[in-house]
Amino acid sequence: MSGFRLDNKVALVTGGASGIGQAIALCFAEHGAVIRIVDLNAEAAQKTAERITQSGGNTTAHQCDVTDAAQTKAVFKEILGLSRVDILINSAGISHVGRLENTGDEDFERVFRVNVLGTHHAMREIVPAMVAQDSGVIVNLASIAASAGLEDRYAYSMSKGAVLSMTYSVARDYLRQNIRCNAISPARVHTPFVDGFVKKNFPGKEAEAFAKLSASQPIGRMAQPSEVATLALYLCSDEASFITGTDYPLDGGFFNLHG
């Protein structure tokens, strides 16, 4: 892809050490961005940073628990001390399998802390800097679960619904400061989480379970993290300068064609 360049842009990616976040970090680096990887797993963040560096990219890795307001404030202050931040990708998140009656308060609150408070903390620390520089782009990873009923995803759906509403609110509130804020809502993406889920819940029947999960998307397969990254790349590029306050389903036809 020759277009959608991010030269001279700095992108901060939470959850950038694995899965979708890692794919976005690698993709953005390939397209000229300086990458700030933020992740709870310091070792994995450093390994991803090394991959970028070995490919000629420019990056730094930062360990941070985005559920911790004070820690997020300190780490993001350190990052802003290195350079401006032009792009914020909120990819840090966790899933949870369960419906209302078997989702305990502890699980509900854990999902809320990571997916909702984590996104809130990251935006709260970066948006003032974007206001000061009169520009910025934010992409939040929501989910098709924010808009469609998914079986056994009660707490997860709650959290991604909140992320989507936060996206709309920030887009509206900071429109005049030239800050764009959009969301991507994937259906099932083939990440290490999916492999772990299948291995844990379907021992000895992994291939059958994987095929069934893949078939739940009308297109007949899961998305690849790189496909999410390509959409994020477009949304953060200057070519998408007219787009804000929008949710982009990346769902293989799930929302409109399912069933």
In the Cβ-directed half-sphere of 61, how many Cα atoms lie within 13 Å? 23
Cα torsion 25, 193, 183, 61 to 10°: value is -30
Under a CB-based contact definition with an 8 Å cutoff, are residues 138 and 182 in contact? Answer: yes
Helix axes 19-30, 42-54, angle to 10 degrees: 20
| Residue 53 main-chain phi, psi, to 5 deg | -65, -45
Distance CA 144, CA 257 (A): 13
Token pair for 41 = 């797993």
CA atoms of 75 and 58, how far apart (whole Å): 18
Q: Which helix (H) or strand (E) holds 198?
A: helix 192-201
Q: Which of 54, 184, 177, 197 is nearest to 127 (CA)?
A: 177
Q: What amino acid is encoded at 165 in this protein?
A: S
Tokens 């992409």 identify what position?
Answer: 139
CB 223 within 8 A of CB 154: no
Q: What angle do CA 219, 221, 224 make, to 5 degrees?
A: 115
The yes-or-no answer on residue 168 being catalytic is: no
**From 156, 168, 234, 248, active-site residue:** 156
**Which active-site residues does the annotation give?**
156
